[in-house]
């Protein structure tokens, strides 16, 4: 009788949405980085704004329990642009290409600095 070993899954057991950031690591190629599950969306946005990714390519969300996945790059880029607009600052240079690729043109505003 053949016995099967139980394989460990990298997917969470609970009904949580996982966020992965595809990042261009230069000579080392692209990598997928997982965000903290407790506050995944906020964690991704904070890490992007803090410069923890070299050159973000895409953000994907998935929920294995509900069997769905979605490219959420547009929503993340929109939120980064919104926060920068509220703070009257430019999107950081390392995020400019990501935000330009996914954020609608009408949301991109240049900050005006009062003298």
Per-residue pLDDT of the chain (115 residues; tens, 9 = 90+): 555 455 445 555 567 888 889 988 767 777 777 666 556 888 899 999 999 888 899 999 988 888 899 999 999 999 999 999 999 999 999 999 999 999 766 554 554 444 4
Give the angle subtended at the CA of 49 by the CAs of 47 and 58, to the nearest 5°.
70
DSSP symbols for 22-56: EEE-GGG-EEEEEPPSTTHHHHHHHHHHTT-SSSE
Distance, CA of 102 to CA of 58 (rounded, Å): 9
Tell whether 39 is covered by a domain.
yes
Give the angle subtended at the CA of 81 by the CAs of 85 and 99, to the nearest 5°.
145
Residue keyed to tokens 């607009």: 85
Tell whether 4 is covered by a domain.
no
Tell whether 115 is covered by a domain.
no
Distance, CA of 9 to CA of 66 (rounded, Å): 16
Domain range for residue 53?
A: 18-107
Tell whether 60 is covered by a domain.
yes
Tell whether 8 is covered by a domain.
no
Total tally of structural domains belonging to the chain: 1
Quote the pTM value. Answer: 0.73
Tell whether 26 is covered by a domain.
yes
Tell whether 78 is covered by a domain.
yes
Among the listed residues 102, 104, 107, the one whose alpha carbon sits nearest the alpha carbon of residue 84: 107
Tell whether 9 is covered by a domain.
no
């Amino acid at each position: 009788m053949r016995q099967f070993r139980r394989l460990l899954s990298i997917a969470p057991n609970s009904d949580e949405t996982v966020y992965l950031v595809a990042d261009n690591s230069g000579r080392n190629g692209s990598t997928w980085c997982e965000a903290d599950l407790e506050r995944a969306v906020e964690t991704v946005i904070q890490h992007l704004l803090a410069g923890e990714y070299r050159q973000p390519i895409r953000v994907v969300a998935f929920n294995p329990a509900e069997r769905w996945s979605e490219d959420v790059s547009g929503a993340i880029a929109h939120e980064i642009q919104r926060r920068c607009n509220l703070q009257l600052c430019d999107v950081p240079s390392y995020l400019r290409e990501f935000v330009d690729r996914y954020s609608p043109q009408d949301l991109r505003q240049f900050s005006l600095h009062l003298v």
